[in-house]
Chain A
């Protein structure tokens, strides 16, 4: 079965460190997204991509970057982690059509 996997599922890091969260999907979807989930805010879009070499900023993109070198992967990088980036991060993908998103299980990041 097709799926979307995130790693690591849990990570603790220190302020100022660079962190990369991996996302890999086997749906062969062109569209991939990174959201963060925080209490009281629901899910907020960080970055998204509509295909290889395409990346776009979402509503909370400051301090984050992504790159898309192939269809399957969209890694999310925190260049210099801050305590405000402690959150649960979800990767999702969708094909063309009605825009239904398929989600990974999430990566819980704690920045101390």
Chain B
């Protein structure tokens, strides 16, 4: 079984400040890991994904995440927050079945990011 825990349901930062959203996972097999973003009244959009290649993954809009197996973590960061980053962010995990996956993702509870001017 797999699970994801996102630490902090709400995170608030000032514009220009570092963004850090925390995600810890549990998986008995090598995982694929994802971060998705959801803007109000919209579907989820992929930010970035870890698929067992580089442990530091760069995504869209200046976000990146680092896979740390020893800590079972996949935290999302952005050096400088922008007002347009305000949204809800979801971490998700699925199993790496011999280099492929079937898309059955398990999601965390989500973190709402607020950016203050």
Is the A/B pair a real complex? Answer: yes
A interface footprint on B32-60 (CB within 8 Å = 1, 0 otherwise): 10101000011111100101000000000
Nearest CB in chain A: distance from B33 CB, A:
10
Tell me the number of A-to-B contacts counted with CB atoms below 8 Å: 70
Chain B residues with CB under 8 A of A97: 100-101
User: Who on chain B is nearest to A43 by CB?
Assistant: B107
Q: Which residues of B line the A interface, CB within 8 A? A: 6, 9, 32, 34, 36, 41-46, 49, 51, 90, 94, 100-110
Given contacts A90-B44, A98-B32, A99-B32, contact A42 B100 (CB under 8 A): no
Nearest CB in chain B: distance from A39 CB, A:
9
A86 to B112, CA, bound (A): 21
Of B9, B103, B108, B110, which one neighbours A99 at CB under 8 angstroms? Answer: B103
Nearest CB in chain B: distance from A5 CB, A:
10
Looking at A35, A94, A97, A98, the one whose CB has the most chain B CB atoms below 10 A away is A98
A42 to B6, CA, bound (A): 10
Q: Which residues of A line the B interface, CB within 8 A? A: 31, 33, 35, 40-45, 48, 50, 90, 92-94, 96-101, 103-106
Nearest CB in chain A: distance from B49 CB, A:
6
A43 to B92, CA, bound (A): 10
Of B32, B36, B94, B109, which one neighbours A40 at CB under 8 angstroms? Answer: B109
Of A31, A35, A100, which one neighbours B46 at CB under 8 angstroms? Answer: A100
Nearest CB in chain A: distance from B29 CB, A:
13
Q: Are A96 and B34 in contact (CB under 8 A)?
A: no
Q: Are A90 and B43 in contact (CB under 8 A)?
A: yes
